[in-house]
């Protein structure tokens, strides 16, 4: 088995540096999970809906690589900043996207081994929270469809009006709800696949474990606690 990788916070990491096997550094009091690219492989469904959105708006459809850059960050922000849409056009694009994506929402498969990791963390008595930039209602449907919602104490996502959409805001909401359930969040950890997950968690004082099977690049491993290459390595890091 390949060893998980620790990354330094001193300089951005563009390549992995192999370390001895990474054992759990503490008993985690809570584990927060991203959804797209971490639990479910949704990229093809998301990019298909994005392509439909651009075509419906009478615009050239970006290539697949460009569309994948939209997977992860809040979509309304991506329409504004990446696509350069006006505020009105960004909201119009979001409405078109959601209408199309709703019809394909439940097609995305769970990454191999991840359901088992969630079950083991739950069985270990560690509270789980979802923290995703996907709209919360959609995220709940995905977890319920895959029989995973039962493992989560909290399911937090973006609000329908996009008032809560940044990863930092979603993580803060997940922590708030965990605390309301009496969960100690002093030693929480985030599991994600993009630099946005790391930055959003760090804004709330939470370290991040990055999974390599998602949609991030090696450069996005900077400032993470560790990078894991398989579900088995993630399980070892979270529960030993």
Residues 32, 15 contacting (CB under 8 angstroms): no
What sign does the CA torsion over 226, 11, 206, 138 have?
Answer: negative
CA–CA gap between residue 138 and residue 158 (Å, rounded)? 10
188-192 and 208-211 strand pairing: parallel
CA–CA gap between residue 114 and residue 36 (Å, rounded)? 12
Tell me whether residue 77 is one of the annotated catalytic residues: no
Q: Is 230 helix (H, G, I), strand (E, B) or coil?
A: coil
Query: What is the strand order of the sheet 30-33 is part of?
Result: 154-158, 128-135, 30-33, 188-192, 208-211, 226-228
Spot the catalytic one: 34, 45, 193, 197: 34
By annotation, the residues acting in catalysis are: 34
């Amino acid at each position: 088995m390949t060893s998980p990788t620790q990354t330094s916070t001193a300089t951005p990491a563009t390549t992995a540096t192999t370390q001895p096997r990474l054992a759990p550094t503490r008993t985690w009091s809570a584990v927060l999970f991203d959804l797209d690219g971490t639990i479910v492989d949704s990229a093809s469904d998301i990019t298909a809906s994005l392509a439909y959105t651009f075509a419906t708006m009478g615009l050239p459809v970006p290539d697949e690589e460009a569309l994948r850059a939209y997977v992860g960050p809040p979509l309304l922000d991506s329409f504004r900043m990446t696509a350069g849409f006006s505020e009105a056009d960004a909201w119009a694009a979001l409405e078109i996207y959601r209408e199309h994506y709703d019809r394909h929402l439940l097609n995305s498969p769970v990454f191999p081994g991840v359901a088992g990791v969630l079950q083991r963390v739950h069985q270990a008595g560690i509270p789980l929270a979802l923290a995703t930039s996907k709209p919360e209602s959609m995220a709940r449907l995905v977890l319920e469809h895959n029989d995973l919602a039962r493992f989560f104490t909290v399911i937090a996502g973006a609000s329908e009006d996009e008032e809560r959409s940044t990863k930092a805001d979603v993580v803060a909401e997940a922590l708030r709800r965990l605390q309301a359930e009496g969960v100690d969040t002093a030693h929480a950890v985030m599991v994600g696949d993009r630099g946005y997950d790391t930055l959003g968690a760090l804004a709330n004082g939470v370290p991040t474990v990055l999974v390599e099977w998602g949609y991030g690049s090696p450069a996005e491993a900077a400032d993470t606690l560790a990078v894991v290459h398989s579900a088995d390595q993630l399980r070892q890091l979270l529960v030993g």
